[in-house]
Structure 1
Amino acid sequence: MKLLTRSIPSISFMLLLILSITISCNKPSKTKKQSEYKIYNFEQQGWKSKRITHFINDINYTATEVPIQYYLLKNNQSNYDKVDSLYQLNAKERIIEIEFQHTNEADLLLEDYTDKTYEEAVKYMAFAIKKDFTVVTSSNDTIQCSGVNFERNYKVAPFKRVLLYFNNINPKDQIKLIYQDHLFRNGILKFNFNQTPLKL
């Protein structure tokens, strides 16, 4: 009988331990919660307000400077502690999203708008368009576009979107995007991002 009463507290302790482990496994981690909270706050800061639109010959050209921290947060939600060190490594990079949309939501890569076959226009937007973009910084440096990612939407969305990547820009600099439109032949467009880049 004594043996039985002594073992009851240890059984209770074991059950409590198992229960607490189970509950903690089902709870989202603190770092994930922090990360989700940061992403939410970041979106609420209105970074999309850094959007600039030009309208020429029935085409809307919309450029948005996307803070690199936003991508880092979205891709590292499970390891929020990494975000700060990753930002330090990538602080001199800039990402600009540019969308092209016809007012009638026509497919802009058709030959009517580009004087190229559809296949040639797709290839141009996926690769060659990179050479049409440069950035001028507030320190008067001219930076060539280092990479582009054409987001294929297979005619689901009414616009064409390209992500542009630029390197070696002082994080404190404001930038001006210059686009020489060889694809739709609408001349030179300038997008002046005169706001200080967002911080975490």
Structure 2
Amino acid sequence: MRGSSFLRVGQAGFKSLRLHKLRSMLTMLGMIIGVWAVITLVAIGEGASYDAQEAIKALGANNIIIRSMKPMEDKVQIQGEMQWVSHYGLTNADAARILKTVPGVKRVLPILIHRKNVLHGKRNVDCRLVGTYPHYPSFTQSRIVAGQFVNEIEEARRENSCVLSHDLAKKLFAGENPLMETVTVRGFESWQVFRVKGILEVRTDLEKLPKNSN
């Protein structure tokens, strides 16, 4: 008896679907669109989560970034002239003190960032100039794709050696081999020439750092 009741209900349902084909099609289409929308939103959420995890992994899950903030500029007297001079930010002594006194800190990486013009031939690119130490690639999980990074000997001798990001190398050299070539950086008071030691594929999101930071 119960089986025949289910059969009658099923027959009535199929009959209704045949009689109202447009309504049935719209209902089915609505269900398909709803399921597709849910799947799409879940996929977008998973993708955003993956990107965020990769960004954190690139920075280092256990890394803490300390940034200095530029204070109000004060006029100071230098050699009889009134000039604007800023003295602020963390120093190497501060980094050494943090490494020595803060529990759990295993290593530190001082970084100084300035916005400068870099030239090669007739090409002039405004970019971020990053001053740092030889252990920068291992600290930030950045990869050297050509040449090598600045080493401890060059650091001790204060040699004008540099490494270019892959994007900057393309803009300055336009397909040419930049290794052991020179680029010119516009400094505060003069132009300085640097020899290119390598090409770096940067994974750390330096674009989120201030234009002038240390």
TM-score by length of 2: 0.28
Larger radius of gyration: 2
